[in-house]
Amino acid sequence: MGARKIGPALAAGCPVVIKPASETPLTMLALMPILEEAGVPPGVVNVLPSRSSGAVVGEMLADPRVRVVSFTGSTEVGRKLLHTAADNVVKPAMELGGNAPFIVCKDADLDAAADGLMVAKMRNIGEACTAANRIYVHEEIEGAFVERYTARMAALTMGNGLEDGIDVGPLVNAETRDKVDHFVRDAVAKGAILKLGGVRPNGPGFYYPPTVMTNVPDDAECLRDEIFGPVAAIQTFRDEDEVIRRANDTQYGLVAYIYTKDMRRGMGLAARLEFGMIGLNRGLVSDPAAPFGGVKQSGLGREGGKEGLLEFQETQYISTEW
């Protein structure tokens, strides 16, 4: 996450003060000797770890030398940063939350779609803003698709990620693990059917097993918030107008996924989806050369590509007479 911001900032000629996430500061600290070895001068990139995030960032944004605040995280925290940045008119670049729909059309290649969902759902164990959160499968192929996808999820091994042969490690903290567990229990209580997992394991560590739910009701909490864990919530749909309406029915607009063998259908659906990025027949959209970002409550601005570089630049217009 830090490299995605440091790189374009340096390319634009900007020094950086970066406050890593309080839960995960070590990777950012490990990046600093690498930047030094690569030739970045002392004082150009500065890491400031702290658990007092509000106080530290508040001081940073009050400093008149700060011209851009680039943030990746929750929409809730992003809103607070925007309020603080407004006091000194600091330019914001916000990569915020998501609630990604994953649409499997009637004509989709089911094996390809199941493989794509494994990437879109289980990358980083679901702890990603781009993770597939609401899975819509055409009602005529639901059984065949769920069978394929559940088999793939069941083949994963959960355990200590430092050991060989482990696919699913622990979640980042107890709060995240408990939130995932609550989402599953809420959905099941409202009528969802567990096809796999769904039981929080005993013992140490913030683990939650790969879980597949079908028949997830519309009022399930997991459909309105980021699950941020290894839980697939599957619903069915009947026609394209219906699935577009349901997919767009969210405050978020980061990424959406579509699987279909008909490219014309896929492009048509993509044009109607209110999301900044579309994965068409693929479960991974991130690419350093492409603009990464969302619409609505999923953020402002872009990372990657020339658009990401422009976030750290200003346009100057010079009018003159010779």
Hey, which residues are catalytic here?
A: 95, 129
How far apart CA 3 and CA 83 sit, in angstroms, is 25
Beta strands in the chain (DSSP E): 16-18, 45-47, 68-72, 91-95, 100-104, 132-138, 193-196, 211-214, 231-237, 252-253, 255-259, 277-280, 295-296, 299-300
Tokens of 89: 């008119």
Distances (CA, A) of 130 to 156, 210, 219, 312: 21, 18, 22, 24
Residue 305 Ramachandran class (φ > 0 left, ψ -120 to 50 alpha, else beta): left
DSSP state of 301: S
| Residues composing the chain | 322
Burial profile 128-165: b = 16 or more Cβ within 10 angstroms, e = fewer:
bbbbbbbbbbbeebbeebbeebbebbeebebeeeeeee
Is-contact 174 23, C-beta < 8 A? no
How far apart CA 5 and CA 8 sit, in angstroms, is 6
How far apart CA 186 and CA 310 sit, in angstroms, is 43
CB-based contacts of 33: which residues, under 8 Å, 6+ apart?
Answer: none
SS3 content of the chain, % helix, strand, coil (to 5): 35, 20, 45
How far apart CA 2 and CA 287 sit, in angstroms, is 15
